[in-house]
Amino acid sequence: MSARILCLGLVLVFAASYAMAQVGGEKRRSGYQDMGEALQKMQDDDTANPGMLFVQLGGQLWAKPAGAENKSCADCHGAAANSMKGVATRYPAIPHGADRPVDLEGRINLCRTENQKAERLPPENRDLLALEAYVAHQSRGMPIAPPYGPLLDAFRAQGEGIYRRRQGQLNLSCAICHDDNAGKKLAGIAIPEAHPTGYPIYRLEWQTLGSLKRRLRNCLVGIRAEAWPLDAPEYVALELYLMERAKGLPLETPAVRP
C-alpha cells in the first residue's frame, strides 16, 4: 500500500517538474542542462570557469595595438561592453560588401587584415579564441538572434542540407543523432541537441578552449567522413543553420562541456 502511495507521489512530482520545465514552451535543451552539477557550477563560477582565463586574455588583446596600422580593437570599437553587446548572437553574418557569410572568428580576422593590417590568426590559435571568447562573452545571457536576408538564407539552407545528409563510412547525418536520437545514450553518454550556445567552449576532453568548427570536425571524424578544409564555407553554412535551430536560447560563452 505504502509502495503504491510512493509511486503515486513520484508520478505527481515527475508530472509537476515536467510541467514546470515546459513553461514558455521551451523544449530545446542546451548541453548545459545535461551535464553534472559539478560542471554546471564550474561554468557558472567565473573564478572556476577555465574559459574565463581566455576571456581575460581577450580583454588584454582588445586594447593592444596590432599590425602595420598599430591600432587596437578598442581604438575603433571603444569599450567592448557597449560596442560588442549582442554582436555574437547575430553571427555568422555577411560583412558589408561581401558575398558570403563569416563567423565571429572570420569577422575578427577580417578586422585584422583590413583595418589593423595585421596577419590572419590561424584556426584554434590561442589569441584568436581569446578575442572571440571576449567578444562573445559580452552577449552572455542574451538570446541568439540570427539575421536574415536572401544570401544568408541560401547559405543557411545549404547548412541544413549538410545537417540532414548522410555521410562518412558510418553513413550517418547530424540529424540522425542530434534530432532523432538526442537524449539517448551513445557509448553511455547522452547525445546533446547540438545547440551552439557557448562557443568558444572549454571542453574538458580538449583541456583547452576550442571553436565550433573544431567540434564539428570531431563529429565528422567520428562518423569517418572527410573533414572539409578549415577555411571551407561548409562550416559557416552549418553554423548558420545551427544558430537558427538555437534561435532564442541564451548565449553562455564561455561554456564548459565534458
Partner 1 sequence: MRILLVIALLLTACPVAAQPVTPQIVDDAIPASLTGRPGDAARGRAIVANRSTGLCLLCHSGPIAEERFQGDIAPSLAGAGSRWSEGQLRLRIVDGSRLNADTIMPAYYRTGGLQRVARAFEGKTILSAAQVEDVVAYLVTLKD
Do residues 178 and 193 make contact, with C-beta atoms less than 8 angstroms apart? yes
Considering only 5, 25, 185, 229, the residue that binds partner 1 (CB under 8 A) is 185
For partner 1, the closer CB: 79 or 170: 170
The distance of closest approach from Cβ of residue 220 to partner 1 in the complex, given in angstroms and rounded to an integer, is 8
* Using rule CB under 8 A, residue 205 touches partner 1: no
Q: Judge whether 104 and 93 are in contact, CB under 8 Å.
A: no
Choices 140-148, 152-160, 176-184, 242-250 (CB under 8 A): range interacting with partner 1: 176-184
Which residue number, 76 or 170, has a Cβ lying nearer to partner 1? Answer: 170
- Between 224 and 247, CB nearer to partner 1: 224
Residues 106-165 that bind partner 1 (CB under 8 A): 165
Interface region with partner 1, contact rule CB under 8 A, candidates 15-23, 64-72, 129-137, 168-176: 168-176
32, HSE (Cβ side, Cα atoms, 13 Å):
22
Query: Which residue in this structure is represented by grid cell 588583446?
Result: 61
Grid cell at residue 175: 540529424
| For residue 143, cis peptide bond before it (omega within 30 degrees of 0) | no
If binding is defined by CB under 8 A, does position 181 make contact with partner 1?
A: yes
Q: Could you tell me the smallest distance in angstroms from the CB atom of residue 176 to partner 1?
A: 5
List Cα–Cα distances, 125 to 45, 109, 183, 211, 223, in angstroms.
25, 11, 32, 10, 26
Q: Using the rule CB under 8 A, which residue among 226, 231, 232, 258 binds partner 1?
A: 226
User: Looking at 7, 111, 177, 219, which residue is catalytic?
Assistant: 219
**Contact pick of 50, 95, 147, 168 for partner 1 (by CB under 8 A):** 168
Q: Among residues 40, 56, 167, 208, which is the contact residue for partner 1, using CB under 8 A?
A: 167
CA–CA separation, 17 and 232 (whole Å): 44
Please, what is the minimum distance in Å from the beta carbon of residue 213 to partner 1? 17
Residue 225 binds to partner 1 (criterion: CB under 8 A): yes
What gap in Å lies between CA 74 and CA 58, rounded to an integer?
Answer: 12
CB of 7 to partner 1, least distance (A): 24
Amino acid at 165: R
Bridge partners for 90 per DSSP: none
The answer to whether 80 touches 62, Cβ cutoff 8 Å, is yes
- Quick one: three-class SS letters along 22-68? CHHHCCCCCHHHHCCHHHHHHHHCCCCCCHHHHHHHHHHHHCCCECC
Residues near partner 1 (CB under 8 A), total? 24
To the query of whether residue 177 is one of the catalytic residues in this protein, the response is no
- Residues near partner 1 (CB under 8 A) are 165-172, 176, 180-181, 184-189, 191, 220-221, 224-227
